[in-house]
Structure 1
Amino acid sequence: MEKIEHINYIKVPVAKVYEALTTHEGLSRVWTTDLIVKPEVGFVNEFGFGDEEPTKMKIVELSENKRIVWECTDSDAEWIGTGISFDLSEKSNVTSVVLRHYNWRELTEFYQWCNYNWAMFLLSLKLYCENDEGTPYQSRTF
């Protein structure tokens, strides 16, 4: 099994980062403007990226200001059954975010492309939390 793992440091309190990762406002400014989300364990968030069917992420864990875990239930075949976690910790008003995308069956070209895009996601999260200007999918140039 393969795993993508990134860390980033965001110069805001952990509550702001947690809110950005769990609310419609935050995720629409960071990841995609086409979404249906609800910060509730068991809810299946939906994220749209253009003409494709939406990516569906079941919320498996919400530990306020500490951890968020999603399980992919519908998306590209390589994503189904994978998990995405965000582990948060704060020190001196700087929040570290450890993003893991795990249970990949193999390292493929799509895996490598997603690895790059998760890094872009963390940059967008940082820009949104620190400057109120993220870069959701619809604002990116590919």
Structure 2
Amino acid sequence: MAHIRLRRTIPADKSTVFDALTIQEYISGWFAPHVIATPVSGTYAAFAFDEDQHFKVLLSEIVRDEKIVWEYTGGNLDWDHSRIVFRLEETGKGKTLLTFSQSELPDTGKVDKWRNSWSNFLDQLKRFVLKELSHA
């Protein structure tokens, strides 16, 4: 099984970054244009980029301003049994270190593609937080 781990420092507090990762309208601003999600542990979220790319996850753990865990439950991606974790750490002076990990990925030769996609999404998240959510 393969694993992806990425980090980004985002110049915003943990609460702002957490909101960008959990509020349906915000998620569609940086991730998938079509999102159905309620930030409550034990609920499901669905994401669609277009009719050819969509998936569903169980929001298995949500700890306000600390951690969000997604468990892949279906869709048309090769992520069977994959687990995605977003961890937030305060790094001082209104900055947040976001650590992203995706584990239990099948070795299908697509891991580099997924890593690049997630890297781009995290960059989009950072831009979204700076442009749409930061109130300087």
When the two structures are superposed, what TM-score results if normalisation uses the length of structure 1?
A: 0.88
Structure 2 residue 120 is the aligned partner of structure 1 residue 120 = yes
Q: In the alignment, what sits opposite 1:7? A: 7
Listed as ranges, the matches of 1:52-131 within 5 Å are 52=52, 54-92=54-92, 93-106=94-107, 108=109, 110-131=110-131
Counterpart residue type for residue 11 of structure 1: P
Q: Aligned residue for 1:40?
A: 40
Give me the CA root mean square deviation: 1.4
Helix, strand or coil at the partner of 1:84: strand
Q: Is the 8 A contact 1:2 1:107 kept in 2?
A: no
Q: Secondary structure at the match of 1:65?
A: coil
Counting aligned pairs with the same residue, the percent is 24
CA drift at 1:77:
4.9
Q: CA deviation at 1:76?
A: 3.0
Aligned to 1:24: 24
Unaligned runs of 5+ in 1: 134-142
Question: Unmatched 5+ residue regions in structure 2?
Answer: none
Give the count of matched residue pairs.
132
Deviation at 1:107, TM superposition (A): 5.1
Equivalent residue letter for 1:99: F
CA distance in 2 between partners of 1:53 and 1:42 (Å)? 23
Query: How many Å separate the matches in 2 of 1:122 and 1:107?
Result: 23
Moved over 2 A (4+): none
Distance across 1 between alignment mates of 2:106 and 2:33? 29
* Conserved 8 A contact 1:59-1:69: yes
Q: Does the residue aligned with 1:54 lie in a helix, a strand or coil?
A: strand
CA–CA separation in structure 2 for the residues paired with 1:20 and 1:121: 12
Q: For residues 5-44 of structure 1, what are the alpha-carbon distances to aligned partners after superposition, in whole Å with 9 as ceiling and x for unaligned?
A: 1000000001000000001121010101211011011111
Q: TM-score of the superposition, structure 2-length normalised? A: 0.91
Rounded Cα–Cα distance in structure 1 between residues aligned with 2:13 and 2:77 = 36
